[in-house]
Amino acid sequence: MVTSNKGSALNLVVHATVLFLVIMWTIPTAGLFISSIRDKDQLSVSGWWTALSASEQQKVYRTAGAESEIQENGVYVLRGNLLEGGSGEVTKFGISSLKPEAFAPGQEAKSRRDVRFKVMENGDYEVISEKSFRRGVRIFYTAEIPPRFTLDNYRTVMSSEGLGQSFINSLTVTIPATVIPILIAAFAAYALAWMKFPGRALLIAGVVGLLVVPLQMSLIPLLTVYSKIGAFFGVDAKGYVGIWLAHTGFGLPLAIYLLRNYISGLPGEIIESARVDGASDFVIFRKIILPLSFPALASFAIFQFLWVWNDLLIATVFLGNTEESLVLTGRLRELLGSRGGNWEILTASAFITIIIPLCVFFGLQRYLVRGLLAGSVK
Is it the case that residue 84 has pLDDT exceeding 80? no
pLDDT at 378: 37
pLDDT, average across residues 247-264: 89
Give the E-state strand segments of 42-185 in sequence order.
Answer: 55-62, 70-72, 75-81, 89-94, 108-110, 116-119, 124-129, 138-145
pTM of the model: 0.71
**C-beta neighbour count of 264 within 10 angstroms:** 14
Give CATH for domain 155-375. 1.10.3720.10
Task: Please tell me the distance from the alpha carbon of residue 132 to that of residue 169, in angstroms, as a whole number.
Answer: 59
Burial of residue 91, with CB atoms counted within 10 A of its CB: 0-12 exposed, 13-18 middle, 19 or more buried:
middle
Task: Please tell me the distance from the alpha carbon of residue 338 to that of residue 86, in angstroms, as a whole number.
Answer: 31
Task: Please provide residue 71's backbone torsions phi and psi, each rounded to the nearest 5 degrees.
Answer: -95, 120
pLDDT bracket for residue 367 (50, 70, 90): low
pLDDT bracket for residue 342 (50, 70, 90): confident
pLDDT bracket for residue 375 (50, 70, 90): very low
Domain positions in the chain are: 3-51, 55-145, 155-375
- Mean pLDDT (the chain, rounded): 84
The DSSP code for 97 is S
The DSSP code for 49 is G
User: What residues pair up with 117 in beta bridges, in sequence order?
Assistant: 109, 127
How confident is the model over 204-230, as pLDDT tens digits?
888 888 888 887 788 788 878 888 887
Q: Provide the sign of the torsion angle of the four alpha carbons 321, 326, 329, 331, taken in this order.
A: positive
